[in-house]
Amino acid sequence: MIGFIKKDLAMIKSNLKLIGILLIVYAVMGLMGEMDISFLLPFMSVMIMISTFSYDNYNKWDAYAISLPDGRKNSVKAKYIATILMVLITAIITTLLSFIISYINTKTINYEQIVITMLGTIFGTLLVLTFMYPTIYKFGVEKARIGIFLIVFGLVMIGGVLSKYINLSFIVKSLSFLENYIVIILIILMVIMVYISYKISEKIFYKKEF
């Protein structure tokens, strides 16, 4: 499987410059006290990893991957692990940078807020992965992009309509007792949803013919 991860990471080498530029933009905006864009890097890393599906598809890699030892199983596993690795690495770098910015700006470091923000970001990006990857394996990357746009659009619409008729603050309040466990709940939720997503993708890819 490591070979497949190496191949996926080698494919995004040329995007490292983009990540570097984003880091600089984030640092500058942070120091100027402008908008917090710390979510951008982990989110971009998922987007970059999704672009590897386009290359695989364009160059018909998947058929070849299956002809390699344990190819059907490992190529799916590698995509998930490479993406999670990229999300975690960019999240750690952004978090460290946030500590430095926070210290320069205020002479103190608001550890808790930074870590919670980053955890929320990781959760959000992995949510994208959770929905996107099985959709990509099933319908291909182009259709999956449109599909995910429709899903997000639909959710926003439903949320908007619901908030008109239902008192959402009541739900938030009634769930407030979970606040102390939020970190552990987020982590457990992330593990479960990524695992289920992986199993679905694996099943789709196992049946797929090229």
Partner 1 sequence: MENVLEIKNLCKKYDNFELKNISFTLPKGMIMGFIGENGAGKTTTIKAILDIIKYDRGEIKIFGLDNQKYDNKIKEDIGVVLDDMFFPEILTPKDINDSMKSIYRNWDTLIFYDYLKEFSLLPNKQIKTFSKGMRKKLEIITALAHHPKLLILDEPTSGLDPVARAEVIQIFQNVLEKEECSILFSSHITTDLEHIADYITFINHGEIVLSKTTNELLDNYGIVKCTEKEFKSIEKKDYIKYKKTKYEYEVLVENKKDFKAKYNISVMDKITLDDLMVLMIKGEE
Binding site for partner 1 (CB under 8 A): 2-4, 6-7, 10-11, 14, 52, 55-56, 58-61, 63-64, 66-72, 207, 209-210
CB of 209 to partner 1, least distance (A): 4
CB of 74 to partner 1, least distance (A): 8
d(CA 125, CA 94): 14
- Which lies closer to partner 1 via its Cβ, residue 54 or residue 102? 54
CB of 172 to partner 1, least distance (A): 45
- Which lies closer to partner 1 via its Cβ, residue 26 or residue 133? 133
CB of 21 to partner 1, least distance (A): 19
Rounded to the nearest 5°, which phi and psi values hold at 12?
-105, 5
- Which lies closer to partner 1 via its Cβ, residue 71 or residue 147? 71
- Which lies closer to partner 1 via its Cβ, residue 13 or residue 164? 13
- Which lies closer to partner 1 via its Cβ, residue 4 or residue 198? 4
- Which lies closer to partner 1 via its Cβ, residue 44 or residue 97? 44
CB of 114 to partner 1, least distance (A): 35
The full DSSP string for the chain is -HHHHHHHHHHTGGGHHHHHHHHHHHHHHHHTT----TTHHHHHHHHHHHHHHHHHHHTTHHHHHHTSTTHHHHHHHHHHHHHHHHHHHHHHHHHHHHHHHHHHHHSS--HHHHHHHHHHHHHHHHHHHHHHHHHHHHH-HHHHHHHHHHHHHHHHHHHHHHHHHS-HHHHHHHTGGGGGGHHHHHHHHHHHHHHHHHHHHHHHHHH---
CB of 75 to partner 1, least distance (A): 10
